[in-house]
Amino acid sequence: MIALKSIENGWIELHFAASRNVETKMIRLASKTCDPPSDLAIAVLNIAAVCGKNSDITTIAPHFIFWEVKPQLYTCSLAPAGDETIAIELHHCPDMYAGIHTTDELRLCAVIHLSDLTANLFEEMRGLLLQHGFVGYRHRWGRDFPLALLVELYKLLNPDVATTTADINGEFRLLQTIFNFNSWKTKQSRA
């Protein structure tokens, strides 16, 4: 699974786990050059849009994400693997020379069900926002929280939710559902 952890201003820690207690890789990414929540959400949404039970996965190109932490480069590849699963590979180039890979090491290779990856990523992103808020997130990483991508992940997990919202009121109702604001207000008023 994937875990996004905030560690200090401008850095985010990204944990990849192939399976429980089997293989785990952690990388630290600077927010000035990397945006893991957005990058991963876009990759998952793009693959989900073309990947289904009856899809011909041989015609679907992998989605590549490049995270540069000079002089290192991490390359994450996500590709349909059949039966609504995604193959994830994480490669590491420890020392780029003039923007060119000098070596490339496979650090992680896993196959995960699309719905598991989507749910895990959704919960990690939701947790980051609940922990830091919009302004805190922007202050820590110098960019706005990818709220629209979080909503799209929620819709992917909950196909019964309308595919589009007609207006801002519909989006606010959806956000209330995602963040369960009503129960939050109740918990806060009791404190």
Report in angstroms the alpha-carbon separations of 132 from 5, 165, 169, 172, 175: 11, 26, 24, 20, 17
CATH 3.30.2450 location in the chain: 2-160
Confidence of residue 118 (pLDDT cuts 50, 70, 90): very high
User: With pLDDT > 70 as the criterion, what percentage of the chain qualifies?
Assistant: 77
Q: Is 14 exposed, middle or buried (0-12, 13-18, 19+ CB in 10 A)?
A: buried
Specify the CATH number for 2-160; select among 1.20.1740, 3.30.2450, 2.160.20, 3.30.43.
3.30.2450
Confidence of residue 122 (pLDDT cuts 50, 70, 90): very high
For residue 150, what pLDDT is reported? 94
